[in-house]
Structure 1
């Protein structure tokens, strides 16, 4: 009753509510229509696309570092500065490295000088040794030839002397036999003569018979004297032949002398051949010095390389992203000086949920909305699908040993190529991607 009385007391409330609904109804209808339109549009888009806002622009950021230890005396670039391949980024103090180069150059010159001296000695030793070998071979050949001739002459002379001696000995024996025969005849003739003289004195024989005995005796005496002279000559010829046989001994002595000379020549040749060992030793010394020269050359090249490394240059054409070190700092190998990147070498990395990754394939077209350029549309193409989820590379990977388990949908990285010819896309920019899974 009280409520009824209130409505009766305030009749103006009903018209106000009607007016409010008149204004709200169109708005609600438009909201429902818009929500339905965008909902349908989103639903249709989700059927033909895999989308995510977990994506950003990536690029190859190259850390330019020092390869030597030293004090940084100059940094010649600033952040955001365009740079060409080979342009100087920074310089390290060069004094110590220049001194090392000078030291290595001196060491190389010393090694080369030692090698040159060793090669000259080696060449000289080779010439001397080869000359000694040739000379000793020539002397040995001549000595051997003279020995052969002496042996041949001694052999012939020995044969001739033996034959002559035998002949002379035979002649002496024959002369002795003749002299003995003549002596016998002489004695017989002497006896006959004495008997004839006695018979003649006794008147038994005539003077003619005695004279015949005298003649026979004289002939026997003459034959004996002749036989004796022949024996004397034979003895003289035998003595001469014996003297000639002593000449053979001289020839034998000459042969022994030639044999000693041959042995001496052979020893000289062996000594000359042994000298080749010194040549081989000098060759080994030369090889060692050649190795030292190569080592000195390598050390010099390394010192020059280190000197060149004191000038730090850009490895690519690009832009200086960040300057990390300042002049005056003491840098070490591997210490970062600056970071550079190529503005054209960028791509988009989208992290797609594992529940949708099965719809993504290489080569699919991609629609890209970059937060920094909301009015501009970019297009790309899927070029790589990750082989593992992002969580696998975390410090504490998902699924580590634990008493509790919470299932979390994982994401896999997808690499998307994009044209950045105008250089507007910068590494780190946030992107919304829509991968067309159906055309």
Structure 2
């Protein structure tokens, strides 16, 4: 009797298919393992990396009600474009008040200058009176000396001598009064000159205050400081804002973008400035971007944290630290623009020695 085959045709087919699948899987895993080991041997890789660029707050330098908003969310604007307009009426009133006070102070200086000139003329008159009084006193003294000699030889009476003496005393008093009047005139001149100095200082103060008010008036128009892209809008027309309030965030389009790749401390020994890197973003799988190392952090990321670790306190567990590596993106601007700040990327750097 003929012996029957233990396996059916179906079982044989399944066995062959399974064998082929297992073989193919083994080959794929082998190739993948070899490629992974080759990549680990030749390159330093990390997925702890993000795209960075300068994002600055748009801050108001003046307070007031918003009268116009000329941008939308995510809008691209050019340097000097007007973004917001603040009600300027109060600032113009302050400017006009200061201008009026400045004109008054300047007019006061002119009045003081005129008074100084008048008092200087008066002082010159007083000085001339001193000369006249001095000459008169000199004449009275000569007369007194003559009458005194005449009185001694009994050629003049005592009454005549007394009259001459009285006249000489009056001339002396007039001379002293003329000197005092001259000194008083000089003091008044100095007083008005001091007032004039104070008025000039007040003019300078008001002039500086006017410049400040004019500067504040320019702050009512908020413009883009550079070519940028505006983020989320948080204000509306008619809203009251204060000086120093953040109105929006703007992304600088005039500076380069860069990658902050946080490599393990065991990976950075052969990295150096100027070395090229390959970047792949999670948002664009399969697309490669180029970069260049521009700096390595002087300390690990944990050292710059708010509460850096202190291993001397006890419970010590060794943890591999991360060193931030800054990589500038290079290539065509339209390709770099695809990457946005905060995107996650994978960075690959060759292990070749520096």
Q: Give me the TM-score of the superposition, normalised by structure 1.
A: 0.67
SS where residue 124 of structure 2 aligns?
helix
Determine the structure 2 residue equivalent to 1:12: 8
Determine the structure 1 residue equivalent to 2:227: 317
Q: 5 Å matches for 1:288-299?
A: 288-299=198-209
CA shift for structure 1 position 28:
3.9
Say yes or no: does 1:327 pair with 2:219.
no
SS where residue 323 of structure 1 aligns?
coil
Q: Distance in 1 between matches of 2:311 and 2:277?
A: 35
Say yes or no: does 1:34 pair with 2:34.
no
Match of residue 428, structure 1, among 335, 338, 342 = 342
CA shift for structure 1 position 54:
1.4
Determine the structure 1 residue equivalent to 2:146: 154
Q: Note the residue ranges of structure 2 that are not aligned, 5 or more in a row.
A: none
Q: Distance in 1 between matches of 2:327 and 2:141?
A: 100
Q: Note the residue ranges of structure 1 that are not aligned, 5 or more in a row.
A: 1-6, 166-241
Structure with higher helix content = 1
Pairwise CA RMSD:
3.5
Query: How many residues align structurally?
Result: 346
The change in CA–CA distance for 1:31 and 1:403 in structure 2 (over 3 A counts) is same
Q: Distance in 2 between matches of 1:320 and 1:384?
A: 29
Superimposed CA distance per residue, residues 159-191 of structure 1 (whole angstroms, 9 cap, x where no aligned partner): 9x98xx7xxxxxxxxxxxxxxxxxxxxxxxxxx
Superimposed CA distance per residue, residues 30-54 of structure 1 (whole angstroms, 9 cap, x where no aligned partner): 32541343034213323xxx32121
Determine the structure 2 residue equivalent to 1:363: 274
Say yes or no: does 1:142 pair with 2:135.
yes
CA shift for structure 1 position 342:
2.1
**Range moving further from structure 2, 58-67 or 100-109:** 100-109
Q: 5 Å matches for 1:13-412?
A: 15-16=12-13, 19-20=16-17, 22-24=19-21, 26-46=23-43, 50-132=44-126, 134-143=127-136, 145-146=138-139, 150=143, 154=146, 158=149, 245-246=155-156, 254=164, 257-258=167-168, 260-345=170-255, 346-394=257-305, 397-399=308-310, 405-412=316-323
Superimposed CA distance per residue, residues 250-288 of structure 1 (whole angstroms, 9 cap, x where no aligned partner): 589647634642442133113311332222222222223
CA shift for structure 1 position 382:
2.1
Determine the structure 2 residue equivalent to 1:174: none
Q: Give me the TM-score of the superposition, normalised by structure 2.
A: 0.81
The change in CA–CA distance for 1:336 and 1:401 in structure 2 (over 3 A counts) is farther
Superimposed CA distance per residue, residues 182-223 of structure 1 (whole angstroms, 9 cap, x where no aligned partner): xxxxxxxxxxxxxxxxxxxxxxxxxxxxxxxxxxxxxxxxxx
Q: Distance in 1 between matches of 2:272 and 2:160?
A: 114
CA shift for structure 1 position 90:
0.4
